[in-house]
Structure 1
Amino acid sequence: MLVTISFDPEVFQIEIKPEDSVASLKETLEGVSGIPVQQQLLIHNGKELASSSTMAASSVQEQDLIVLGRRPQAPQQQQQQAASSAADPQQARMQAAMRTRPDGSLENVQEFIEMARQNLPMLSGLPAPLVQAINKNDPEELQRIFRQIHAHREAEAKERQAEMELLSADPFDPEAQARIAERIRQAQVEENYQNAYEYMPESFSQVTMLYVDMEVNGHKVKAFVDSGAQTSIMSQAAAERCSIMRLVDRRFAGIARGVGSAPILGRVHSVNAKIGSQHLPMSITIMEKGPDFLFGLDMLRRYQCNIDLKDNVLRFSVQPEVALPFLHEHELPEAVRFEMQQAEEAQKASGSGVAPAPQAGGAQKPSDAAAAAGAAAAARAASAPGMSLTPGPTPSVQAPQQAPPPSRAAVPAPSDDGDEKVKRLMALGFDRQQCMEVLAACNGNEEHAASLLFEMGGGLGF
C-alpha cells in the first residue's frame, strides 16, 4: 500500500506492506531523511507509532499520512555531544562564537567576526549581507541581520507547527488534503528545477534575438529576423533614413492590430536591398512606429531562407548562396541591449531564473524602448492584403490616400443605411465598435468591410 510521508519541508510517498514493522519503515526513512532511527518520531492520526508494532496493528491504511519528526535529545546526549566537541579546540571556539541570545543576536560578535575572517570556507558559505557586514567590521549591522534571521526562522517554525497540527489532527480534512497536495507539487517543482539546472543550465540564460546586417537603398540597417511576422516591416524613422518614404503607396494605409495597434502608413512595393554581396528586391510595409526593420515571413519564403542555428547564420537560397551571420549581443541595436540589461537587472532583483525576452526595438533611444516594443507587437499583425485598409470604390472620397483611417474615438455615427450594414456585420460575430470603424475605413463598402474583418479576426499569427 502507498502512504504519504511528511518530512518538513518535503512530502513524498512510499510503498509499504501491512505486515511491515514500524522499525523497518524507520530504517528506510533514515536513508531518506538523514535522521537516525533512534531519533525518529513517527506520528499517525495524532499518535506515535511504536517501533515494535506493524503497519496493520497500528491501523495504517492506504493513502494515510505519517508525519516524520526528530525526537528531542535527552540531556545526557547533549552533554555527550558537548564533551566530544570540547576535545576539538577549533570546534569549541566555533561553537562559542556562534552562541546566540534569545533574540537571535550573538553573545560575542567580535569573536564571530574574527572566526569568520580566519575561516574562508565558512565565510564563503554565509549570505551576502553577513559577508558585507563582516568585511566592514560592523558589529551593529551584523547583530541586526542575526535578529532578522532569528525572527524569520521563528515565524517559519510557528507556521510549520500549525501546519503539522492541522495535518495530524485530521488527514482527511479538505484543507489538510489541499496542503498536502500543494507540498507534493512544490517538491515536484523543486526537483524539476534542480534537474533542469544540472542538465540544462543554458535554459536559465537570456536568449539573444536574431539580428543580421543588411543594406536598404544603400543605407545600413540591423534587421530583426522574425518568422512569426507575416510581413516585413520598417518604421517611418528608418524609412526616412533610407530615403524610401517617397515610394510609399498610401493606398495600403491602415491599422495593424495585434497585442496593441499601430498605424500603417503604406507599402514600398520594391526596394533594392543588399544581402551580403547580392542585391535583391524587397517589399516592405511602412509603419508609424516599431522596429527599424523587421525581416518577416514574406521575404523569408520569397528567398527560401534557412535559419541555421547550428552555424548561427541566415542562409539565402540564391546564386551564389549568401549566409549572413547573426549578430552578437554587443552588436545589437541600442534599444534592444537596453531592454536586455533591464530584464537582467529585474531577474537579479526578483531572484527568478527566467527573464523575459526583449522585443524588437530597432535603434531608438533607450527612453523610447518601451513604446517601440509595443508598436513592434502590433507590427507583427500587419499582413499584406488582409490588413491593408484601402480606399473604397466611391470616386469622390480620397481620404485614405491623405491620412490614416480615423481612430475609434473619431468614428462617426452611422446613418440608417449604415446602421443596417453594421447590424449585418455584427451578425457575423464582430463587435459593434469594430464594425463601425472598419466600415468607415472602407467608405461604407460592406463587402470590403466583411472581408477585412475576417482577415483581421483569423490567421494573423499573434
Structure 2
Amino acid sequence: MEVATEDSVDSLQANLAGISGIESAEQLLIHNGRPLQPSATLAASGVQDQDLVVLTRRTQAAQPSTAAAAPPPRQHQDFSTEPDGALEDPQSFINLARSTPQVMAGLPPHLQQAVNQNDVETLQRFFRQMRAHKLAAERERQAEMELLAADPFDIEAQAKIAERIRQAQVEENYQTAYEHMPEAFSQVTMLYVDMEVNGVQFKAFVDSGAQTSIMSEAAAERCNIKRLLDTRFAGIARGVGSAPIVGRVHSVSVKVGTTYLPMSITVMEKGPDFLFGLDMLRRYQCNIDLKANKLRFQVEPEVALPFLAEHELPDSVRFEMQGESEAGPSGLAPAPQPSAAPQQPLNAAAGAAAAARAASAPGQTVARPAPAATAAPVPAAAPTRAVPSATGNEESVQRLMALGFQRQQCLEVLAACGENEDQAASLLFEMGGGLGL
C-alpha cells in the first residue's frame, strides 16, 4: 500500500479494514517482529519505504483486557533481520505462515511452496533480494539528490529528475485508471452471435470493420453451399496480410433467430468459419447494441441476437485469448518484431478480416469477375503476386528503406497508398515490418 510516513497506524488499520474485512480492533500489525501501536505514526514506528508489514487477526489470547494487555503470541516475535536482510529466525516465519491462512495467501506462489516444503534457503534468498533492492533504490535516490545539490543546472541531473517525475506521473495515472476503470485492464471479448446456414450452426464473428461477409472454404463445404460458388470472383484479398478468394455465393438463406434472411457471402481459402461484415450489417440496418448486449436487425418482426459470452466462443478463439500476453503494471505485451521471412497473419480470423476490410480498396484486392460475354465460368488460375512498378518515387522508397524496411515492401505499400509516403510509413509500422504476403 502507498501511505504517508506521517499517517498513524490507526488510519492504516482503517484502510486495511475495508480491504481485508478484518475490523481494526481485531487487526495485529507486525513490523520487524514487533507489533505496531495504534496511536503511533508510521515514521515513529520505524516503518520505511518498501518495508514488509504483516497483517493478521488477533487471537483471543492477544486481545487486550482491562486488567493488563496480554503479550503477543510467541509466533509473532522473532522476525528481526540480519544486515543483509535475512531473517534471524526464519522458522518462526514459516510457522506463522503455516498457521495463519491470511499470511500464506499474501505470499507469492514460490514462497508458499518454500514454506510448505520448509525451504529456508529460498525464503532467506527472497528477503535478501528485498533488502538489496531497497538499498539499491536508496543509493540511486541519494546519488540523484547529491548530483542535483552539486550543480542544480547540470543537464544530466535535470534529465534524470525529469524522468523520475515522468515515471511518477505515469504510475499515478496507472493507479487512477486501475481504481476508476479497472475494466480497461481486462480482456475484451469479441462480438459473436449464433447463426445457421443451410442447417449448419455457426458462431458468426460480427465485424463492422470488414467490408464484406466472408466464410472459409471448409465451412462452405460443410454447409453444402460451395456448389453455388461463382469462381469468376476469385482473386487475392490484401490488407494486413493476404488471403486467396476462391469465389462468391451471391445469395444464401441464413437463419437469424427464427427469421431467414438472404445474404451474399465471399468464400476465402482460409479464415474464420463465418464473418458477418459491413455489407450485410448495412443491408439490414443492424444496430450493435452494447448496452443490451445484442445485435438488432431492422426487419419485420425485429430480430435481436444476444452476443455470446466468453465461454460460448469458438474453441480456437478462446485458446488464442488464453495464450495472449497480458499487460500489467510493468508494461504492455511485447509487439511483434519485423521479419523479412514470408509469414501468415497471426490468426486466421484476424488475417481474413483484415483482407476483407480491404476488399474494395484500390491496389489492395484483385477480384475481377469474368466478362459478361463469357459462355461459362472459367476456373480462375492460381492467384499470382502483383509486382509493383519500379518507376515509383525513388526518393520515397529510399526514405522508407532508411527506416529499416525492405525495398520490395516499400514499393508494394507505396503503390497501395497511391504514392503517399506518410500513409505508407504508417502502414509499414502498423504491420510490424512486412505485409506477411
Normalised by the length of structure 2, the TM-score is: 0.66
Is residue 6 of structure 2 the alignment partner of residue 34 of structure 1? yes
Code of the residue aligned with 2:383 in structure 1: it is P
Deviations 1:48-75 (A, max 9, x none): xxxxxxxxxxxxxxxxxxxxxx99x9xx
Pair 109,210 (structure 1): closer, same or farther in 2 beyond 3 Å: same
Where structure 1 has 5 or more consecutive residues not aligned to the other structure, the ranges are 1-9, 11-30, 37-69, 74-86, 357-367, 415-421, 439-449
| Aligned 1:130-169 pairs, distance under 5 A | 130-169=111-150
Partner in structure 2 of residue 317 of structure 1:
298
Pair 272,174 (structure 1): closer, same or farther in 2 beyond 3 Å: same
Q: Does structure 1 conserve the Cα–Cα contact (< 8 Å) formed by 2:271 and 2:348?
A: yes
Q: Does structure 1 conserve the Cα–Cα contact (< 8 Å) formed by 2:209 and 2:357?
A: no
Pair 238,384 (structure 1): closer, same or farther in 2 beyond 3 Å: farther
Q: Does structure 1 conserve the Cα–Cα contact (< 8 Å) formed by 2:197 and 2:254?
A: yes
Q: Which of the residues 360, 367, 372 maps onto 2:348?
A: 372
Q: Does structure 2 conserve the Cα–Cα contact (< 8 Å) formed by 1:233 and 1:285?
A: yes
| Aligned 1:44-443 pairs, distance under 5 A | 89-90=71-72, 94=76, 97-118=78-99, 121-343=102-324, 346-347=325-326, 370-384=346-360, 387-390=365-368, 401-407=379-385, 422=389, 426=392
Shift of 1:104: 2.5
Paired residue secondary structure (2:367): coil
Q: Does structure 1 conserve the Cα–Cα contact (< 8 Å) formed by 2:214 and 2:276?
A: yes
Pair 192,376 (structure 1): closer, same or farther in 2 beyond 3 Å: same
Code of the residue aligned with 2:300 in structure 1: it is Q
Paired residue secondary structure (1:291): coil
Q: Does structure 2 conserve the Cα–Cα contact (< 8 Å) formed by 1:262 and 1:287?
A: yes
Shift of 1:382: 3.9
Partner in structure 1 of residue 54 of structure 2:
none
Shift of 1:370: 4.3
Pair 129,427 (structure 1): closer, same or farther in 2 beyond 3 Å: closer
Structure 1 window deviating more from structure 2 (246-255 vs 236-245): it is 246-255
Distance, in Å, in 2 between the alignment partners of 1:430 and 1:253 is 33
Structure 1 window deviating more from structure 2 (307-316 vs 157-166): it is 157-166
Paired residue secondary structure (1:347): coil
Shift of 1:218: 2.5
Paired residue secondary structure (1:243): coil
Pair 195,437 (structure 1): closer, same or farther in 2 beyond 3 Å: closer
Q: Does structure 1 conserve the Cα–Cα contact (< 8 Å) formed by 2:232 and 2:380?
A: no
Shift of 1:395: 9.4
Structure 1 window deviating more from structure 2 (172-181 vs 313-322): it is 172-181
Number of residue pairs the alignment of both structures matches: 344
Distance, in Å, in 1 between the alignment partners of 2:297 and 2:412 is 41
Distance, in Å, in 1 between the alignment partners of 2:95 and 2:169 is 41
Distance, in Å, in 2 between the alignment partners of 1:423 and 1:138 is 67
Deviations 1:348-368 (A, max 9, x none): 8x6668779xxxxxxxxxxx9
Pair 394,173 (structure 1): closer, same or farther in 2 beyond 3 Å: farther
Deviations 1:260-315 (A, max 9, x none): 11111222111111111111111111111111111111100000000111111111
Shift of 1:208: 1.1
Distance, in Å, in 2 between the alignment partners of 1:267 and 1:122 is 63
Pair 186,305 (structure 1): closer, same or farther in 2 beyond 3 Å: same
Shift of 1:162: 2.3
Normalised by the length of structure 1, the TM-score is: 0.63
Distance, in Å, in 2 between the alignment partners of 1:215 and 1:142 is 58
Structure with greater helix share of residues: 1
Q: Does structure 1 conserve the Cα–Cα contact (< 8 Å) formed by 2:80 and 2:89?
A: yes
Pair 435,117 (structure 1): closer, same or farther in 2 beyond 3 Å: closer
Code of the residue aligned with 2:326 in structure 1: it is Q
Shift of 1:247: 1.9
Shift of 1:114: 2.4
Shift of 1:374: 5.0
Deviations 1:98-119 (A, max 9, x none): 2222332222221222244455
Shift of 1:187: 1.6
Partner in structure 2 of residue 6 of structure 1:
none
Answer with 1 or 2: which has the greater Rg. 1
Shift of 1:142: 1.5
Paired residue secondary structure (1:310): coil
Shift of 1:235: 1.2
How high is the sequence identity, in percent, across the aligned residues?
62
Distance, in Å, in 2 between the alignment partners of 1:140 and 1:436 is 60
Shift of 1:427: 7.0
Deviations 1:389-421 (A, max 9, x none): 32687999x99843232125xx6xx9xxxxxxx
Shift of 1:434: 8.9
Q: Does structure 2 conserve the Cα–Cα contact (< 8 Å) formed by 1:406 and 1:437?
A: no
Pair 455,377 (structure 1): closer, same or farther in 2 beyond 3 Å: farther
Pair 337,437 (structure 1): closer, same or farther in 2 beyond 3 Å: closer
Distance, in Å, in 2 between the alignment partners of 1:437 and 1:351 is 38
Let me know the Cα RMSD of the aligned residues. 4.3
Q: Does structure 2 conserve the Cα–Cα contact (< 8 Å) formed by 1:307 and 1:315?
A: yes
Code of the residue aligned with 2:355 in structure 1: it is A
Distance, in Å, in 1 between the alignment partners of 2:226 and 2:373 is 25
Paired residue secondary structure (2:348): helix
Shift of 1:324: 0.8
